[in-house]
Amino acid sequence: MNNKAIGVMDSGVGGLTVVKELIRQLPKEKIIYFGDSVRCPYGERSTEEVIHFTEEIFQFLSRKDIKVFIIACNTATAAAISKIREMTDIPVIGVIMPGSRRALQISNNNDIVVLSTRGTKNSHKYKSTIQKINDHANVLEIACPKFVPLIESGDYKNKKNRDKVIDETLSNLKRTSADTVILGCTHYPLISNYINEYFNNEKNIVDSGFETARDVSTLLEFKKLLSNRKSEVIHDIYVHGDYKQFEQILNEWMPNFKYTIQSVEL
């Protein structure tokens, strides 16, 4: 059981920001990753569609015999985590609770901005999760629908286009009193330096990937599921659709990552 893999999913490359932390904090664990590039962005889809896609991907990864399933996508976590938990006995971890907890830990004024997809914003899952812990927290949820296409296309490397999208999306927040900004979409850490600069490096930026990896580590330890693998780990990547663009971003984001990659249909 211990040497089974950790299954991770996202709509595209975003979940790699969680994987980067997982392999840093848990280097003996094998990851099987599913990126649903063909159907990205999830943030513009209906809740029913996102639930359906998440179920399909969970079923695909279950056939690979995984010991834990990580929904490394805020939109899918918001829409589908309770449904997936009903389908299985293995632990299912999402990214909203870990990011919310961290924001409350780090904020000095409990004034928090959440940047996310439209789907996550409309679910108000961040607001309810944060206020369940602290009723007095002020939570402003902002949809950033142009961020995921900017990142998936690789266009975020183009300064002019990147600056334009960031400015158009965040200009109303320039004078916010919030001291903490949650990157409520796993794609956003790929542009977190630029978001941070946009706020003159004055805000706490919360990357839920980092926090999620910590939760996974605690959970595996508690359930006695930590791997004791001795040999080098080769991870498996499945991409729904063409993986050329996906692989380019993967190699830039995690240059030392050892993996196999293949394109799959569902």
Active site residue ranges: 73, 185
Looking at 25-33, 53-61, 157-165, 183-191, which segment touches ligand DGL (CB under 6 A)?
183-191
| Residue 187 interacts with ligand DGL (CB under 6 A): yes or no | yes
Tokens 């190699």 locate to 251
Residue 200 Rama label (left phi>0; alpha psi -120 to 50; beta): left
Residues 32-91 that bind ligand DGL (CB under 6 A): 40-43, 73-75
- Compare residues 95 and 233 and give the one whose CB is closer to ligand DGL: 95
- Compare residues 12 and 91 and give the one whose CB is closer to ligand DGL: 12
Distance CA 72, CA 35 (A): 10
- Compare residues 77 and 110 and give the one whose CB is closer to ligand DGL: 77
- Compare residues 7 and 14 and give the one whose CB is closer to ligand DGL: 14
* The two three-digit tokens of residue 240, written as one number: 């729904």
Residue 119 to residues 16, 98, 124: CA-CA distances in angstroms?
A: 20, 19, 9
* The two three-digit tokens of residue 229, written as one number: 């693998």
Residue ranges of the binding site for substrate: 10-11, 42-43, 74-75, 186-187
Among 103, 185, 195, 205, binds ligand DGL (CB under 6 A): 185
| Residue 148 interacts with ligand DGL (CB under 6 A): yes or no | yes
Looking at 10-18, 82-90, 126-134, 154-162, which segment touches ligand DGL (CB under 6 A)?
10-18
Minimum distance from residue 228 beta carbon to ligand DGL (Å)? 31
Contact 117, 50 (CB under 8 A): no
| Residue 120 interacts with ligand DGL (CB under 6 A): yes or no | yes
Give CA 43 to chain center in angstroms.
12
Minimum distance from residue 231 beta carbon to ligand DGL (Å)? 31
Beta-carbon count within 10 A of 184 CB: 30
Tokens 């980092």 locate to 210
- Compare residues 66 and 144 and give the one whose CB is closer to ligand DGL: 144
Among 10, 21, 211, 215, binds ligand DGL (CB under 6 A): 10
| Residue 117 interacts with ligand DGL (CB under 6 A): yes or no | yes
Binding residues for ligand DGL, how many (CB under 6 A)?
A: 16
Q: Which residues contact 207 (CB under 8 A, 6 or more apart)?
A: 17, 99, 183, 189, 192
* Sheet containing 204-207: order of strands: 138-143, 111-116, 180-183, 204-207
Q: Which residues contact 31 (CB under 8 A, 6 or more apart)?
A: 5, 6, 8, 19, 22, 23, 235, 236
Looking at 123-131, 181-189, 216-224, 242-250, which segment touches ligand DGL (CB under 6 A)?
181-189
- Catalog residues that contact ligand DGL under the rule CB under 6 A: 10-11, 14, 40-43, 73-75, 117, 120, 148, 185-187
